[in-house]
């Protein structure tokens, strides 16, 4: 036998105190009743002993119940939260390129909303990044809020130029640190272009922490320019560098593949029809179902038995008191 809360047994020190108080109280009561007759006083004394045993026994049972006695074992479903996914979303200017329709970023946002809907009930968080990274939404199971944050993501969120995948992965890894989900995943959605830091170093840290990086690549190998649009969303030209040449952006599959491979993760290139996402979703569904049927053994809690005995003792005392009152009447 073991106890889940052994410190509760200190409350047994109250039992002698309760006995003294009960004895003194009943002595005073019986003295007052003695004037009514010897026979009545004897019956009252007999009932007093029964009541004392009942109440003190109930007190002992309640204290032992609070100590959470355990013996025997039981098999219970393993409490899990399935999958915890931190989406690491690239919002650098190159994600405005439209070599994937309607644009790289809009395609990624559509895919993220699909992920949230298909894996409702699991934990989800959002990190956005360009030259710096920011935790936009901490881990939550609130699918509606998660979709709203994804929908509001844009390349105007961060003012700096460039891309820092390492910083984004580090913040995403930190967001996963408090999750108890059996599967913890960083989902990197990017065109793979990176100008700062060392993404492979961050991927190595994720692997050491037991976190997998799955990557979705947006864009084409041929690439395209980065459209500039007016207030109404109409294209007014393409982004140019300092020399006046149109900036050309391409999908860097090799970088994304290397990041995923470092953590034994999965890389998929996403086409406009979303085929890459579907393959990744199927993997996550399989992993989610694989954790749902797991069980564990643990000591069987026996405190309900002691609480039930305490209730029986108190009820018996009340029933006896009612019977005594009827006989007295």
d(Cα 271, Cα 279) in Å, to the nearest integer?
Answer: 12
pLDDT at 47: 47
Signed CA dihedral, 198, 200, 202, 208: sign only? negative
Tens of each residue's pLDDT in the chain, 329 residues: 778 788 888 888 887 887 787 777 767 766 676 655 544 445 545 545 666 677 778 888 888 888 888 877 766 555 455 789 999 999 999 999 988 888 999 999 999 999 999 988 889 999 999 989 999 999 999 999 999 999 999 988 887 778 899 999 999 999 998 888 888 999 999 999 998 889 999 999 999 999 999 999 999 988 888 888 777 767 778 887 788 888 888 999 999 999 999 999 999 998 766 677 888 888 888 877 655 445 556 677 877 888 888 888 777 766 655 655 555 55
Task: Report which of 97, 106, 104, 128 is spatially closest to residue 229, judged by C-alpha positions.
Answer: 97
Q: What are φ and ψ of residue 66, in 5° steps?
A: -65, -25
Q: In CATH, what class is 83-292?
A: alpha beta
The span from the CA of 196 to the CA of 131, in Å, is: 7
Distances (CA, A) of 178 to 125, 191, 194, 266: 12, 29, 28, 23
Residue among 57, 34, 88, 30 nearest 216 (CA): 88
> Residues with Cβ < 8 Å from 106, sequence gap 6 or more?
none
Taking alpha carbons only, the member of 79, 70, 82 closest to residue 298 is 70
- Encoded tokens for 182: 């059996």
Q: Which long-range contacts (CB under 8 A, 24 or more apart) does 304-310 make?
A: 304/65, 305/65, 306/61, 306/62, 306/64, 306/65, 306/69, 307/61, 307/62, 307/65, 309/57, 309/58, 309/61, 310/57, 310/58, 310/59, 310/61, 310/62, 310/65
The C-alpha atoms of residue 187 and residue 174 are separated, in whole angstroms, by 14
Give the pLDDT of residue 133. 92
Nearest by Cα to 226 from 155, 132, 129, 130: 155
Q: What is the 3-state secondary structure (H, E, C) of 143-211?
A: HHHHHHHHHCCCCCCCCCCCCCHHHHHHHHHHHCCCCCCCEEEEEEEECCCCCCCCHHHHHHHHHHCCC
Estimate the crossing angle of helix 165-175 against helix 253-262, to 10 degrees: 30
**pTM confidence score:** 0.64
Residue 178: per-residue pLDDT: 81
Q: Do 258 and 266 contact (CB within 8 A), yes or no?
A: no
**CA dist., res. 3 & res. 8, Å (int):** 10
Cβ atoms of 280 and 214 closer than 8 Å: yes
What residue spans define the domains of the chain? 2-73+300-328, 83-292
CA angle 230–236–238, rounded 5-degree value: 115
> Is 124 exposed, middle or buried (CB count within 10 Å of its CB: 0-12, 13-18, 19+)?
buried
In this structure, the chain runs to a length of 329
């Amino acid at each position: 036998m073991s106890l889940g809360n052994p410190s509760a047994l200190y409350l047994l020190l109250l039992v002698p105190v309760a006995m003294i108080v009960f004895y003194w109280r009943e002595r005073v009561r019986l003295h007052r009743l003695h004037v009514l007759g010897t026979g009545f006083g004897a019956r009252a004394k007999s009932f007093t002993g029964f009541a004392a045993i009942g109440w003190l026994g109930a007190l002992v049972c309640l204290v032992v119940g609070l100590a959470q006695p355990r013996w025997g074992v039981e098999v219970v479903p393993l409490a899990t939260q399935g999958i915890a996914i931190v989406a690491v979303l690239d919002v650098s200017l190159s994600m405005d390129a439209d070599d994937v329709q309607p644009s790289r970023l809009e395609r990624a946002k559509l895919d993220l909303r699909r992920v949230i809907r298909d894996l409702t009930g699991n934990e989800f968080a959002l990190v956005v990044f360009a030259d710096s990274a920011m935790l936009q939404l901490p881990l939550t199971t609130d699918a509606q809020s998660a979709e709203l944050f994804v929908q509001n993501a844009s390349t105007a969120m961060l003012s700096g130029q460039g891309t820092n995948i390492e910083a984004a992965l580090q913040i995403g890894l930190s967001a996963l640190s408090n999750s108890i989900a059996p599967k913890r995943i960083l989902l990197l959605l990017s065109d793979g272009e990176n100008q700062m830091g060392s993404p492979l170093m961050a991927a190595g840290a994720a692997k050491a922490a037991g976190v997998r990086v799955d990557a979705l690549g947006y864009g084409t190998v041929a690439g395209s320019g980065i459209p500039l649009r007016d207030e109404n969303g109409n294209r007014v030209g393409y982004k140019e560098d300092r020399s006046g040449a149109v900036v050309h952006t391409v999908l860097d599959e090799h970088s994304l593949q290397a990041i995923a491979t470092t953590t034994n993760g999965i890389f998929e290139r996403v086409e406009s029809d979303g085929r890459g996402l579907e393959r990744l979703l199927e993997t996550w569904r399989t992993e989610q179902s694989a954790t749902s049927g797991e069980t564990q053994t643990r000591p069987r809690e026996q405190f309900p038995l002691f609480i039930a005995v305490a209730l029986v003792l108190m009820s018996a005392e009340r029933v006896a008191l009612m019977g005594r009152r009827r006989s007295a009447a």
